[in-house]
Structure 1
């Protein structure tokens, strides 16, 4: 904000990762808004809620934020039974205060926010398009020649690339992706939230996901996160430039090449550098450990944590890969039902699910001992 000195900052949700964020997360968000307003009094701040956010929680401080020049829309605003379209509109000004464009700050739309369009081929997609059409028409009525139209949204667009293990489609049971023509050609730029990977939609530079500014899963550990700097001239888009975001906390995945046997993983972990003296807790690297198991390892976590003593890392995920066939005990079997199988057969199936081959003799012996104890207990206390 200080170096690039943009005229506006658009945040397309999610603000939080949960509808019930901790007080510390809320304090961090409001401190940021306060600092941005203090350092850049002329900055337009436009924020919308996402699918992870509680619309009511975000909208609660609206009167206070509005008073300091922050335009935040947590959920679709209403005035009685009607949509409060005026609250969705925000003028975008330059450093001298002249209006250069209008933003439609459309938050994440839940099915209950949409008009009923039963005759449409896809009522949910048509409902979203109708909400944008209504708001954009109001913005067109306000703008003057040479002023740009900008839209914000938090949604899943058709053809969007998702990040492994950290996101999902959001509208109507994860089945409804929005077409890019929801945003007419006179909209100079569309700032989208939800997908964590930065990308243009439908091959159009004007419709973009900025992506998350930091990793939200270990699958994104090596992904170059960014924010986007958008340049408009009059009503036209001139350029979109990626600005890499700093990552003050490292994200580590070990082994980098994939799961390895536990003894080799332990050696890798012990080879990590020791934690620097007086290292702040928040700077400790996040760590995912990936292990290939060749048999039962009940002390897996203990051994991994022991290898990490003094390393100053935060173990956030321990992924164990097994060599079995992965077949569920509930999978249909044309030869027998689960209730018709002998206990040893069930035990062998469970072993095959997680490990290669047959269970070793000493485990079979221990299993039979447990079965005998269970039968003996039934005879004593039927």
Structure 2
């Protein structure tokens, strides 16, 4: 069977105050065109369909239309909730999704079988997917309690919770002749972040080892990290990455979707298909004269200016480069005052330092220095 694996759409993303609505329409339109050309049996969207848990009506329209268009290519479509999504809101769309032939799993419910999706390709290949939406640490504990684990088991680490849940979901992966798939939205130890992920859900106890995935899994389709990459594990494990760079930390990423060919008796073969419809993100540095030669009409820009800071400098740069979303003074142009101040203070008495403070504040009131001297002498004499 053939799978199109994508994730981390982040529809509704606003970059430095600039909407990316039109870009998302073009990007997801290209993903649909790739699906039409590649004719996958199954499309997996591994979480973070939206950039926020309260998406705008425009963002909802973009996502639902993209899911419908993917379904109209003839593929089965499965989408799970990510840490940016509102899982319960996605679940509320399930009646619509079911009627449209789309499978949505926004959150973990009481019955584990709800997270097992099965199907058969037109060629007669049977497949099953264990679908695990994003779980916060708090809800990971609640989820393991749902599945009748002991108190001792429920007190283990987040990675242990995820491993037990996956083990519970994968109990049927030993059936012969079935292609076993797993999709989840999480961080795997050793994988590289893309640059725009939410750090609180990427580190600080949220990373799990690749050993949580059962060896009998034919392919693991992950979301959450925005860089396309494979992860060493007991089975094929891959992040598809985001189909567009969502922040300037991702400007070096190659946006793509993964096309996976897999069968019950052959190893998965994965190839990336680039997605090129979004505007690129670029960081440029230079003086005003150097910046005047920049010609990147199809890019959003982050600019580091090599000029002495002055009033109106930002406006001059933005007039020259209208697509500059972020303008900063190059750190090399900002003197390190801290070291200089420390050197100036070295070896000076408290009276001298207080006198410098008054001079810098422009305080010339008579008697202040004398009062400080009297107070200092009084405090010093009591030691």
**TM-score grouping bracket, smaller chain normalisation:** 0.7 to 0.9
Question: Which residue in 2 is equivalent to 1:226?
Answer: 256
Aligned length: 321
2:116 maps to which of 51, 75, 89: 89
**Greater RCO (Cα-Cα under 8 Å, separation 6 or more):** 2
Aligned-pair distance for 1:251?
3.0
- Residue 76 of structure 1 contacts residue 107 of structure 1 at CA under 8 Å; is this kept in 2? yes
Matched with 2:239 is 209
Q: CA 1:342/1:152 → structure 2, altered by over 3 Å: closer, same or farther?
A: farther
- The answer to whether the 8 Å contact 2:227/2:254 transfers is no
Question: 1:72 aligned to 2:104?
Answer: yes
Deviation at 1:24, TM superposition (A): 1.1
Q: Is the 8 A contact 1:156 1:169 kept in 2?
A: no
Mapped pair 1:181 → 2:211:
yes
Question: Is the counterpart of residue 320 in structure 1 residue 329 in structure 2?
Answer: yes
In the alignment, the residues of structure 2 paired with residue 325 and residue 63 of structure 1 have an alpha-carbon distance, to the nearest angstrom, of: 60
1:75 and 1:87 map into 2 onto residues whose CA distance is 10
Query: In the superposition, relative to structure 1, how do residues 74 and 334 fare at CA in structure 2: closer, same or farther (>3 Å)?
Result: farther
Partner of 2:76: 44
- Which of 269, 279, 283 in structure 2 is aligned with 1:253? 283
Q: Is the 8 A contact 1:148 1:236 kept in 2?
A: no
Matches of residues 197-346 of structure 1 in structure 2 within 5 Å? 197-202=227-232, 206-254=236-284, 259-265=285-291, 267-269=292-294, 272=295, 285-293=299-307, 295-308=308-321, 313-323=322-332, 324-325=335-336, 327=338, 342=354
Q: Distance in 1 between matches of 2:337 and 2:94?
A: 51
Higher helix share: 2
Question: 5+ residue gaps in structure 2?
Answer: 1-34, 146-150, 367-383
CA contact (8 A) 1:13 1:193 kept: yes
Give the Cα–Cα distance (whole angstroms) in 1 for the partners of residues 268 and 176 of structure 2.
17
Task: Tell me by how many angstroms 1:54 deviates.
Answer: 1.1
Could you say what secondary structure the match of 1:133 adopts?
helix
The more displaced of 190-199 and 284-293 is 284-293
Give 1:218 shift: 2.1
Are 2:166 and 1:148 equivalent residues in the alignment?
no
In 1: Cα distance, 2:200 partner to 2:290 partner: 38
Taking only aligned residues, the RMSD between alpha carbons, in angstroms, comes to: 3.6
Task: Give the Å deviation of 1:36.
Answer: 2.0
- Residues 18-58 of structure 1 show CA distances to partners (whole Å, capped at 9, x for unaligned) of 11222211110001112222x32x41101111111111221
Query: Conserved in 1, the CA contact under 8 Å of 2:230 and 2:237?
Result: yes
Structure 2 CA distance for partners of 1:287 and 1:178, relative to 1, 3 Å: same
Give the Cα–Cα distance (whole angstroms) in 2 for the partners of residues 119 and 371 of structure 1.
66
Q: Which runs of 5+ in 1 are unaligned?
A: 79-83, 276-283, 347-366, 377-382
Identify if the C-alpha distance between structure 1 residues 119 and 46 changes in structure 2 by more than 3 Å, giving closer, same or farther.
closer
Q: Secondary structure at the match of 2:314?
A: helix
- Separation in 1, partners of 2:126, 2:66: 25
Give a deviation string over 1:82-137, Cα, whole Å, max 9, x none: xx2121011133125x4521001110111122236646895211111111111111
How far residue 341 of structure 1 moved from its aligned partner, in angstroms, is 5.7
Check conservation: 2:195, 2:226, Cα contact below 8 A: no
Give the distance between the partners of 1:54 and 1:328, measured in 2 at CA. Answer: 47
> Secondary structure of 2:241's match?
coil
Q: Any idea what the Cα deviations from partners look like across 1:246-271, whole Å, max 9, x if unmatched? A: 234243332xxxx3234432x234xx
Normalising to structure 1: TM-score of the pair? 0.73
Aligned match of 1:100: 126
